[in-house]
């Protein structure tokens, strides 16, 4: 018998929880489903749902976006990137291009794409022109990029890779001793590719309840019920609440392709800093397709600092689950989707953008300031 959202809510409300429980999600898709379905207001007050580091555009380091902008402006290339990346601002003086969109407005050949196959097609259609694919994203985005590379790409296609692994950010948060949550909802699509076992550390090393969820309110509520019941009964295990697609070991073919063409490396996260073993790099055999090796280095080391958000922007606090989006004092005032200050207001997976789209229009901090 499959339960409805109403059934799951009824079960959650019937739990006798010993304490206030904070549940973190680490997926923009989860945050969107939770917010759009109004799950926060449907749950008892003692349950908090915290958006965490689940937006790849939000954590893409400023030095990579800056390098992409400079490459597009100063080299004779077509720069292609997933649409969200084009609007993400970097912190530069107003006279300079702040985003790939602004670089495009200044004459750079910048093109949005929706999949890696489009990058290959553009390169094949223009064999005499260098095409740079700025590939930023988590495992679910990096897997098709790896498949593209494993199958072979045209000589004129180069990658500016900015891929990240999701679980190391959660591990970093938990290892820091400053994690602001009591249970975790793990991303179903990442587990589909990489296997649910990646999230076992949450239970085994940190003794926190965890559950893998899909992207419907029903699946999310099932996962919430699982971790809340674990809290109530003092149990700890990783529950797969998305068994329709998440299988032990994940997608073996995708993992083999990633292993074939990519190395795992330490990587910088915007606003957070370097996290061990949290990024992907092209293997040495693919150096001929590595934009960082083929073109002059436009990376700017000064942009690697942690907390590299624009002045006043608290995206780092949002990404780490330390504040809710509307606790940033710029939310809805200086920062809106039309005029984003930080990356969390740009991407469809950014918590600020999602909250704005759901109708939250005012900053709690602004209300305090205005009072």
- The footprint of ligand SF4 on residues 274-313 (CB under 6 A) is 313
User: Residues 131-153, buried b or exposed e (16+ Cβ, 10 A)?
Assistant: bbbbbbbbbbbbbbbbbbbbeeb
The residue from 268, 314, 320, 347 that contacts ligand SF4 (CB under 6 A) is 314
Complex with ligand SF4: residue 218 or 341, whichever CB lies closer: 341
Shortest distance (Å) from residue 21 CB to ligand SF4: 25
CA distance 103 to 164: 25
The residue from 344, 347, 349, 366 that contacts ligand SF4 (CB under 6 A) is 344
CA distance 30 to 321: 14
Complex with ligand SF4: residue 50 or 191, whichever CB lies closer: 50
Position of minimal CB gap to ligand SF4? 342
Complex with ligand SF4: residue 91 or 216, whichever CB lies closer: 91
Contact 31, 58 (CB under 8 A): no
CA distance 345 to 73: 25
Q: Does the footprint of ligand SF4 cover residue 328 (CB under 6 A)?
A: yes
- Helix spans in the chain (H): 5-14, 28-36, 39-42, 56-59, 62-74, 100-105, 116-125, 139-151, 167-175, 188-194, 200-204, 217-233, 252-261, 291-294, 315-319, 351-357, 364-370
The residue count for binding ligand SF4 (CB under 6 A) is 14
Shortest distance (Å) from residue 315 CB to ligand SF4: 4
CA proximity to 89, closest of 281, 339, 367, 362: 339
CA distance 41 to 355: 13
Contact 178, 151 (CB under 8 A): no
Q: Does the footprint of ligand SF4 cover residue 325 (CB under 6 A)?
A: yes
In a 3-state reduction of DSSP, which class is residue 196?
A: helix
Q: Does the footprint of ligand SF4 cover residue 315 (CB under 6 A)?
A: yes
Complex with ligand SF4: residue 262 or 341, whichever CB lies closer: 341
In a 3-state reduction of DSSP, which class is residue 112?
A: strand
Shortest distance (Å) from residue 318 CB to ligand SF4: 5
The residue from 345, 347, 349, 354 that contacts ligand SF4 (CB under 6 A) is 345
Complex with ligand SF4: residue 154 or 337, whichever CB lies closer: 337
Contact 291, 132 (CB under 8 A): yes
Q: State phi, psi for 13 to the nearest 5 degrees.
A: -65, -25
Complex with ligand SF4: residue 239 or 349, whichever CB lies closer: 349
Complex with ligand SF4: residue 47 or 318, whichever CB lies closer: 318
The residue from 146, 213, 228, 318 that contacts ligand SF4 (CB under 6 A) is 318
Q: Does the footprint of ligand SF4 cover residue 335 (CB under 6 A)?
A: yes
Complex with ligand SF4: residue 187 or 342, whichever CB lies closer: 342
Q: Does the footprint of ligand SF4 cover residue 34 (CB under 6 A)?
A: no
Helix, strand, coil shares of the chain as percentages rounded to 5? 45, 20, 35
Q: Does the footprint of ligand SF4 cover residue 209 (CB under 6 A)?
A: no
The residue from 8, 181, 269, 331 that contacts ligand SF4 (CB under 6 A) is 331
Shortest distance (Å) from residue 361 CB to ligand SF4: 12
Complex with ligand SF4: residue 157 or 335, whichever CB lies closer: 335
Q: Does the footprint of ligand SF4 cover residue 195 (CB under 6 A)?
A: no
> Which distant-in-sequence residues (6+ apart) come within 8 Å of 50 by Cβ?
22, 23, 24, 25, 180, 181, 321, 324
The residue ranges that bind ligand SF4 (CB under 6 A) are: 313-315, 318, 325, 328, 330-331, 335, 341-342, 344-345, 352
């Amino acid at each position: 018998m499959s339960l409805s959202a109403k059934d799951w809510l009824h079960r959650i409300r019937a739990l006798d929880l010993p304490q206030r429980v904070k549940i973190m999600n680490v997926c923009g898709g989860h945050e969107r489903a939770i917010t759009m379905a109004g799950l926060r207001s449907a749950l008892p007050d003692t349950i908090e749902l915290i958006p965490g580091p689940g937006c790849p555009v939000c954590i893409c380091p400023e030095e990579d976006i800056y390098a992409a902008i400079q490459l597009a402006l100063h080299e004779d290339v077509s720069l292609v990137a997933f649409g969200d990346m084009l609007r993400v601002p970097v912190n530069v003086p107003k006279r300079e291009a702040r985003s790939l969109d602004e670089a495009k407005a200044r004459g750079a050949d910048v093109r949005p794409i929706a999949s890696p196959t489009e990058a290959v097609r553009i390169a094949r259609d223009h064999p005499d022109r260098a095409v740079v694919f700025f590939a930023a994203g988590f495992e679910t985005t990096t897997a098709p990029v790896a498949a593209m590379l494993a199958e072979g790409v045209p000589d004129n296609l180069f990658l500016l890779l900015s891929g990240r692994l999701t679980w190391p950010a959660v591990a970093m948060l938990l290892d820091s001793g400053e994690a602001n949550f009591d249970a975790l909802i793990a991303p179903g699509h990442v587990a589909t590719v990489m296997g649910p076992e990646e999230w076992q550390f949450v239970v085994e090393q940190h003794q926190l309840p965890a559950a893998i969820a899909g992207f419907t309110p029903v699946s999310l509520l099932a996962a919430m019920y699982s971790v809340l019941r674990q809290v109530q009964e003092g149990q700890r295990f990783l529950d797969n609440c998305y068994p329709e697609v998440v299988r032990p070991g994940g997608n073996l073919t995708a993992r083999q392709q990633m292993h074939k063409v990519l190395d795992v490396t330490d990587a910088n996260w915007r606003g957070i800093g370097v996290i061990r073993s949290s990024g992907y790099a092209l293997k040495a055999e693919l150096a001929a397709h590595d934009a960082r090796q083929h073109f002059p280095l436009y990376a700017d080391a000064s942009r690697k600092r942690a907390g590299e958000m624009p002045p006043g922007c608290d995206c780092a606090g949002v990404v780490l689950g330390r504040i809710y989006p509307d606790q940033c004092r710029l939310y809805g005032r200086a920062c809106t989707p039309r005029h984003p200050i930080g990356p969390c207001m740009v991407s469809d997976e950014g918590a600020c953008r999602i909250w704005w789209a759901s109708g939250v229009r005012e900053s709690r901090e602004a209300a305090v300031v205005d009072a």
